Amino acid sequence: MKSLLVGLAAAATVAFALPAPVQAKDIRIIMITHGQSNDPFWSVVKNGAAQAAKDTGVQVDYRAPESFDMVAQAQLIDAAVNQKPDGLAVVITDPSALGPSIKKAVAAGIPVISLNSGSDVSKSLGALLHVGQDEYDAGKAAGEKLKELGAKKGLCVNHEVGNVALDTRCKGFADGFGGSVTVLPSANDPAEVQSKVKAALASNPDVDAILTLTASLGGEPAVKAVAEAGLEGKVHVASFDLSAGFLKDVADGKADFAIDQQQYLQGYLPVVFLALYAKYGVIPGGNVPSGPNLITKDKAGQVVQLSAEGIR
């Protein structure tokens, strides 16, 4: 009996010596993207991250440079590593520019999940997994759909030339489309997009398909440019991502479709996964595809309100 009591006492001592479980309120996750403050796409990502923070009870710090700047984004990652968060969620906009900083985070023992861009290099840089869509496949799907609609000469409006993910979208579009595709560089400015698209249509009257790489800053002004050129019904317009305005254009037949990568999930899921990893050491075994989904006329009306609310 005495030996039994001694054994129980020893077991109790070991049990009490075990480390206390990590409390959610003590977990800090930093999310770093390249998204500019005037781009509604990234506000949806941020909304997803904020909701995940509420749902899990962890702290989330969302950071992004003031403009499209790979040096500034790398510096944000380096600063985050120095602060030793419990998890880092990062957009791999340019692997060559950001790779060394991401590897530093991994070497420092910080769990990393990539989102939005970088599915092809995420694992090689040491990230646990990637949440997003394959940009080439999404662009190719758009090209194939526009080809199916009968278009033969395309325009890919790129508002961030040098962003590897966006360049890859245009490449996929060209390959899926099969016909002639011209890349039209533009700033992240709706007025400039509208002006450049209108000028391109005037100088290239054979263009009958336009793909933009963001909805509110590219798709909506492209629809306006087509209307101003008097080419409604003659030029197909499609766009990556969603906005309430562009979805209304799709529902009204002024545009053909939007490519939904569900960026709310790209903000939400990395926070949830990193929180679970910090608390319990559990993580999905592979990448999580959040898209692409083509939103056509029959679906657009259902999504408009959620887009206006910053969820879709």
Per-residue pLDDT 10s for the chain (312 aa) are 555 444 545 444 444 444 556 788 899 999 999 987 667 889 999 999 999 999 999 999 999 998 889 999 999 999 999 999 999 999 999 999 999 999 999 999 999 999 999 999 999 999 999 999 999 999 999 999 999 999 999 999 999 888 888 999 999 999 999 989 999 999 989 999 999 999 999 999 999 999 999 999 999 999 999 999 999 999 999 999 999 999 999 999 999 999 999 999 999 999 999 999 999 999 999 999 999 999 999 999 889 889 888 999
- Pair 75, 90 in one domain: yes
- Pair 32, 122 in one domain: yes
- Pair 176, 129 in one domain: no
- Pair 232, 242 in one domain: yes
* Domain CATH code at residue 212: 3.40.50.2300
- Pair 120, 152 in one domain: no
On whether the CB atoms of residues 274 and 29 are closer than 8 A, the answer is yes
- Pair 207, 269 in one domain: no
Looking at the 3D structure of the chain, how many domains does it have? 2
- Pair 157, 205 in one domain: yes
Domain hosting residue 200, numbered range = 135-260
Q: How many CB atoms lie within 10 A of CB 284?
A: 14
- Pair 148, 128 in one domain: no
Distance (Å, whole) CA 155 – CA 207: 7
Q: What is the pLDDT of residue 37?
A: 60
Q: Which element (helix H / strand E) includes 156?
A: strand 153-158
Residue 123 lies in a domain: yes
Q: What is the pLDDT of residue 3?
A: 52
pTM of the model: 0.82
- Pair 267, 126 in one domain: yes
Q: Which element (helix H / strand E) includes 265?
A: helix 263-280
Match 């020893």 to its residue by tokens.
Answer: 10
Residue 307 lies in a domain: no
- Pair 129, 267 in one domain: yes
Q: What is the pLDDT of residue 14?
A: 47
51's CB contacts (< 8 A; 6+ apart) are: 268
278 Cα distance to chain centroid: 23
Q: What is the pLDDT of residue 133?
A: 94
- Pair 195, 252 in one domain: yes
- Pair 209, 271 in one domain: no
